[in-house]
Amino acid sequence: MCANPKAAEMTAAPGSVVLASCMRNEGLFIVEWLAYHSLLGFSDILIFTNNCTDGSDLLLDRLQVLGWVTHIRHSPPPGVAPQIAAMGLAFRHPAVIRAEWMLHIDADEFLNVTAGDGSVQALLQATGEADVIAIAWNLFGSAGLTRWDGGAVLASFTRGQGAPMRRTIDHKSLFRPSRFTSAIDHMPKTPKAPPAVAKNTQGVVISAESLDHPKRSRFKVPFGHVTFANASIHHYAVKSLDVFLMKNDRGDGMGLTHAKYRIGSQFHSRYDRNEVEDRSILCRWPAVEARMAEMLADPEVRRLNDACLGAFRARRDVVLTPDRIAAWTAPPESPDHDPAGLDPD
């Protein structure tokens, strides 16, 4: 079922759940992402930004004034990945300290809860007692779209993998922050009182071994325990071709240097999944549209939102020259080229 829009009221309460996200130059997608997640029952939504050049930070400042979000600017120390630095700040933030649970996801990820009333609380009730709930990625592809000139992510990209695949297994974590000392992009780290209990979204206990390894980002989950039951993270890692290529210009949130944001790369082929039509998340769409309209009714929010889209277009026209696109296309003989998306990683 879909979430009740009345669950949107973000008031702290016992058993509260905080949503945290790290963003840089995601301004053209912020209003939709925030409107959607404001309907799922989170007590607070924290967005950490660093070094934005598209006006994302200004848009978030205004949304914070209106009470929709808590916006934290930060400058990661040299050698520290933005997401790691932001999680350090998150663990010290009052909203996280008083919360029972926290979910950390990116701007291209949307939590889709199918248990109960579709709220994050319904997911917790379905899984039972645990320290970490591993929520599987459900990958959505480009649907053949090459150019982004505005619109809605959820309504534009409705083709995805449909079911778990061995070559696309990964998770994000809903976890109790009070039980851990830190977190990376995919999971919390170093349980304060081990052993920690980890479960999948069906409530099946899975290995928590990765939580004790500082750099390990994947749970050791048998394929039979990888599930979309009760919830999944709809991951729109590719979107349109131009948005995908512009990730090279934005940079990686974990501070990594690699060639994955290339047309035809293993990453691109593996994540551009268009096997089936999946519109399940759109059962919330009328409520999301209404919430977006509520946010955009503020003239300053609308102006700043439009400015972010304009900044993306202007930067895209500078960066994505024919020569640059050719340079960011993996040649067929490259080890990184995987047109069938079959790399077993």
Name the amino acid, one letter, at 231.
Answer: A
- Would you say 136 and 266 are in contact if contact means Cβ atoms under 8 Å apart? no
- Give the model's pLDDT for residue 342: 47
- Give the model's pLDDT for residue 3: 44
CA–CA separation, 100 and 97 (whole Å):
8
The pair phi, psi for residue 41, each rounded to 5°, is 95, 15
pLDDT, one tens digit per residue, over 15-34 is 799 999 999 999 999 999 99
pLDDT at 84 exceeding the cut of 80: yes
pLDDT, one tens digit per residue, over 202-219 is 999 999 899 988 888 899
pLDDT, one tens digit per residue, over 240-253 is 999 999 999 876 54
- Would you say 133 and 122 are in contact if contact means Cβ atoms under 8 Å apart? no
CA–CA separation, 27 and 44 (whole Å):
20
pLDDT at 343 exceeding the cut of 70: no
DSSP structure string for 240-291: SHHHHHTHHHH--TT----S-SSBTBHHHHHH---SEE--GGGGGHHHHHHH
> Which CA distances in Å does 322 have to 317, 319, 325, 327?
10, 9, 5, 9
Q: Is 239 left (phi over 0), alpha (psi -120 to 50) or beta?
A: left
CA–CA separation, 142 and 50 (whole Å):
27
- Give the model's pLDDT for residue 15: 76
pLDDT, one tens digit per residue, over 123-154 is 999 999 999 999 999 999 999 999 999 999 99
- Give the model's pLDDT for residue 213: 86
- Give the model's pLDDT for residue 9: 45
- Would you say 265 and 259 are in contact if contact means Cβ atoms under 8 Å apart? yes
pLDDT band at 14 (very low <50, low <70, confident <90, very high): low
pTM of the predicted structure, to 2 decimals: 0.91
pLDDT at 313 exceeding the cut of 80: yes
Alpha helices in 1-104 (DSSP H): 27-37, 56-65, 82-91, 94-97
pLDDT, one tens digit per residue, over 152-173 is 999 999 999 999 999 899 999 9
